[in-house]
Each structure stands twice: as C-alpha cells, then as structure tokens.
Amino acid sequence: MTSLPPGGTVRAIVRWGDPVLHRASRPVESFDGELADLVADMAATMYAAEGVGLAANQIGVDLAVFVFDCPGVGDDAGAGVVCNPTLEVPIGKDRQLIESEEGCLSLPGAFVTCARPDHAAVRGVDQLGSPVRHAGTGLLARCLQHESDHLSGTVFADKLSKKVRRRLYDEAARVAADFPADWPIGARPAESPATP
C-alpha cells in the first residue's frame, strides 16, 4: 500500500457553493516542490477531518489532484495520490449499482444513501509524475468515484433526487455549528479516516 507524505499543514475545507467546487479543475502540469507541499497539506487536512479522500479543490486549489486513504482489506483498501485522474467504471451488463451511505467533507456532518457502481478504477500520475492505477470495490470504489467527481466539478448531491438532496441539506444545517468556517483547523487528526 502507498503511504501519503507526512508533515503537511491542515487547511480549511471549502464548502459546497464555492465556485471552485462546481467547475472542472485545471490539469497538473508541474510536478515540483509546490505540488509536493500541496499533497502533504491535503493529506494532513484529510486526516484531521477524519476523511478517506480529499480533492485539491476542497481546500480551494484549482488543480486536478486528490489524495485518499481507505481502510479495509484487499480490494476495499488503498492509499495514494492521483493527478489528472481518468475514472473507469463498469458499463452495460457489468455495471452493478450499490447503495451505501455517503457524505462529503465539503458538506460536513451530513450523510445520505447514494447509488454508485460497485467497482471503480482510476488512472493518472502521482505527485512525482509516475503513472499510477488504483482499483477496488466497496469503500475504495466509492472514494475513487467521489474524488474524481470533485475534480470534474461534481458534488455527490448532483446525483441525488431533489427530495434526498433536501434531506441532506437539512441534516447539514442541523450540525453546521459543529463545523466552523476554518474546520478542520484545530481538529485532532483521526486514527482511522471515514468520510470521502
């Protein structure tokens, strides 16, 4: 399993509604120290927020890169960095949707059931520019899809019916006081991440 770079600084997570979350991110073109620092900050922020994935636009950076660390066994686990991802999901008769609870660090504290393909793979490059491919089922498949969607300007509420979306927003509003504008700055890093 790949490990994520340590030593980053926790940054505030941008909330749904911010334009950076609702447009496609720019491709990563420079694999330099600035990108390495960004990736370390993304990992630190993801862990502080107790998440399993985080896209750069979720901390306000318009670049096509995400980090992830999904606990589990075999195809349900993995960690890594993906720049300029291309998502692959089953199509046709091979496509099976699984309904599972999903949340987003950019709408913290709210969860609803969302149907997604049961398997996913992502191709791209890591922070050094080396080719990578990550694939899995379960939470890992959901995470790879969720973070790839972020980089194309899609939040998972875009996949929900109006009724379910309203329930999600109502739940987020009920817990909003628990997540100040600079969250998760000041939060204690989690031992085990849980939310994409």
Across the chain, which has 196 residues, the per-10-residue mean pLDDT values are 86 98 98 98 97 98 98 82 97 89 97 95 97 95 97 96 96 96 78 50
Is residue 83 one of the residues assigned to a domain? yes
Report pLDDT for 188: 56
Report pLDDT for 76: 75
* Count of structural domains, the chain: 1
Distance of CA 121 to the CA centre of its chain: 14
Is residue 26 one of the residues assigned to a domain? yes
Q: How far apart are the C-alpha atoms of 123 and 134, rounded to whole Å?
A: 7
Domain region containing 100:
19-178
Q: How far apart are the C-alpha atoms of 49 and 56, rounded to whole Å?
A: 14
Report pLDDT for 80: 96
Is residue 6 one of the residues assigned to a domain? no
SS3 55: strand
pTM as predicted: 0.92
Report pLDDT for 185: 95
Is residue 192 one of the residues assigned to a domain? no
Is residue 190 one of the residues assigned to a domain? no
Question: Which residue numbers are catalytic?
Answer: 147
Q: How far apart are the C-alpha atoms of 163 and 5, rounded to whole Å?
A: 40
Q: How far apart are the C-alpha atoms of 68 and 3, rounded to whole Å?
A: 10
Q: How far apart are the C-alpha atoms of 3 and 35, rounded to whole Å?
A: 16
CB atoms near residue 170 (< 10 Å): 10
Report pLDDT for 195: 56
Report pLDDT for 187: 72
Output DSSP code: residue 54. Answer: E
Report pLDDT for 95: 86
Q: How far apart are the C-alpha atoms of 126 and 96, rounded to whole Å?
A: 29
Per-position DSSP letters for 58-122, written without gaps between them: GGT--BSEEEEEE-SSGGG-EEEEEEEEEEE---GGG--EEEEEEEETTEEEEEEEEEEESEEEE
Is residue 3 one of the residues assigned to a domain? no
Is residue 4 one of the residues assigned to a domain? no
Is residue 10 one of the residues assigned to a domain? no
- Read off the CATH number of the domain in which 111 is found: 3.90.45.10
